[in-house]
């Protein structure tokens, strides 16, 4: 295995975080039979008190007889079918449809999951299925035909000792804290997370924005005779975002994000990247996203930055989103009879400091149907323990580390919290709380 510290892809990974080298995720070898189900794509449709689960699949090697069963949370089988040839689908030439009567639907508040098994003679694949639909009904975002409001948080993989290496228990601690403090949505800023992150979001109940590993932020800061921000915007997309040479790389990162997370019911939004400006590479990637998976909504905030050189295609972006807009800008958008919901993709910057203006923003979010909510920046401060490479005994980590700042919420408002472990001390007057190691 070859691990590169710097490569041409580095220009597409300019996220605002500490840059570290190494292998941060699990690497494993999987031995499978010669002929197996190679890939499958599960979608759901809700109509007339029934749910239809469609499973499209392809094989590696020769096709093998495949029986699909779906069981409820009590283990009772509620539907079954066989994969059959589907001649009209080049990507997934085999298909099955399973009908579930009186379905128990999935939402962030009630994350009910069914168990799906794909059984062949020599292998069984087990997955979980959540029955839900999401769509934009004009300017209103609806899940299962009910309007939703996103009480969201941006989240990086970050720990003061392990850096970007986040284990299962660390992740569970974060997600449980988010749930306890009334967050219902997470943006995977700004790259795909470990597979078990999305599986836990399915189980615990979060609406997830899955974002591709693509941020060419640095191309904004070019050496220009006119260094004003307005002129930087006019040239931001030239090196990468509107450069045809980067079409394959941009699409590859978009497809990698979508293909891996496409079967997770918690994933309801796709984002092809962050802070890259806009151009042909994102027009192409967003078009592919909507063609491949029309059942989810797309978001891309950097489409806001228009260089004025031509008319760009925004038709494959479902949500209008902004970062840190003044309330005057929000009201201006709402006053123009918009045709897309408004999302605060990042707002109330809270890394290291207590944020302000939550009440003002939440009043608008709750009052205006076109406001689908937002994602606070962000869950934790990116500080590194002592700033050196000192050996740390992991057995004492939970008691000895932390200095980690996170964001939490109460049902009526949100509060800035500094996390250092497990005992909670709260101040009702300041609405802040400190979690101490135990």
Q: What's the CA angle centered on 216, arms 210 and 217, to 5 degrees?
A: 100
Which helix or strand (DSSP H or E) is residue 270 part of? Answer: strand 267-271
How many CB atoms sit inside 10 A of residue 92's CB?
17
Q: φ, ψ for residue 192 (rounded to 5)?
A: -65, 145
Q: How far is CA 57 from the centre of its chain?
A: 24
CA atoms of 134 and 148, how far apart (whole Å): 10
The DSSP symbol for 256 reads H
Q: Which of 211, 215, 283, 346 is catalytic?
A: 346
Tally the C-alpha atoms within 13 A of residue 240's C-alpha that lie toward its C-beta: 24
- Give the CA-trace dihedral at 90, 92, 94, 99, to 10 degrees: -130
CA atoms of 193 and 155, how far apart (whole Å): 10
Kindly state the tokens that stand for 74.
Answer: 């009590």
User: Alpha helix locations (H) across 205-279?
Assistant: 229-236, 247-261
Kindly state the tokens that stand for 28.
Answer: 């494993």
CA atoms of 332 and 337, how far apart (whole Å): 10
Strands annotated E in 21-82: 36-47, 50-60, 67-71, 77-82
The DSSP symbol for 13 reads B
301 belongs to the catalytic site: no
Burial class (CB in 10 A: 0-12, 13-18, 19+), 303: buried
The SS3 of residue 247 is helix
275 belongs to the catalytic site: yes
Q: Which of 215, 275, 301, 378 is catalytic?
A: 275
How many CB atoms sit inside 10 A of residue 345's CB?
26
CA distances from 34 to 37, 38, 95 (A): 10, 10, 21
Give the pairing type, strands 36-47 and 50-60.
antiparallel
Question: Given phi > 0 = left and psi -120 to 50 = alpha, else beta, which region is 342?
Answer: beta
The DSSP symbol for 365 reads H
Give the pairing type, strands 114-119 and 67-71.
antiparallel
List, by residue number, the catalytic residues: 275, 346
């Amino acid at each position: 295995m070859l691990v590169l510290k710097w490569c041409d892809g580095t220009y597409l990974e300019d996220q605002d975080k500490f840059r570290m080298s190494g292998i941060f995720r699990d690497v494993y070898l999987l031995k499978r039979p010669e002929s197996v189900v190679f890939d499958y794509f599960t979608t759901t449709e809700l109509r007339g008190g029934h749910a239809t689960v469609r499973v499209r699949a392809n094989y590696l090697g020769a096709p093998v007889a495949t029986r699909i069963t779906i069981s409820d949370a009590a283990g009772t089988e509620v539907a079954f079918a066989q994969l059959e040839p589907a001649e009209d689908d080049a990507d997934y030439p085999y298909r099955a449809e399973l009908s579930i009567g009186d379905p128990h639907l999935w939402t962030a508040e009630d994350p009910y999951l069914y168990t799906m098994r794909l059984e062949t003679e020599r292998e069984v694949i087990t997955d979980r299925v959540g029955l839900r639909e999401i769509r934009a009904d004009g300017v209103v975002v609806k899940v299962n035909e009910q309007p939703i409001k996103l009480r969201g948080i941006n989240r990086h993989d970050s720990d003061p000792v392990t850096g970007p290496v986040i284990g299962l228990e660390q992740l569970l601690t974060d997600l449980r804290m988010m749930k306890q403090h009334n967050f219902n949505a997470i943006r995977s800023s700004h790259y795909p997370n470990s597979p078990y992150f999305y599986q836990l979001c399915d189980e615990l109940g979060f609406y997830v924005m899955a974002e591709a590993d693509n941020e060419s932020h640095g191309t904004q800061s070019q050496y220009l005779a006119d260094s004003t921000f307005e002129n930087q915007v006019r040239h931001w997309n030239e090196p990468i975002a509107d450069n045809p040479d980067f079409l394959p790389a941009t699409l590859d990162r978009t497809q990698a994000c979508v293909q891996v997370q496409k079967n997770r019911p918690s994933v309801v939004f796709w984002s092809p990247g962050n802070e890259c400006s806009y151009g042909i590479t994102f027009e192409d990637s967003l078009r592919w996203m909507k063609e491949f998976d029309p059942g989810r909504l797309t978001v891309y905030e950097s489409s806001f930055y228009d260089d004025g050189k031509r008319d760009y295609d925004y038709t494959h972006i479902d949500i209008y989103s902004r970062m840190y807009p003044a309330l005057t800008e929000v009201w201006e958008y709402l006053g123009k009879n918009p045709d897309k919901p408004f999302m605060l993709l990042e707002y109330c910057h809270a890394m290291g400091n207590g944020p302000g203006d939550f009440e003002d923003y939440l009043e608008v979010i709750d009052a205006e149907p076109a406001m689908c909510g937002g994602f606070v920046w962000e869950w934790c401060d990116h500080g590194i323990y002592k700033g050196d490479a000192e050996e740390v005994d992991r057995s004492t980590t939970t008691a000895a580390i932390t200095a980690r700042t996170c964001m939490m919420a109460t049902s009526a408002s949100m509060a800035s919290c500094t996390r250092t472990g497990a005992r909670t001390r709260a101040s009702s007057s300041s609405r802040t709380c400190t979690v101490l190691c135990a």
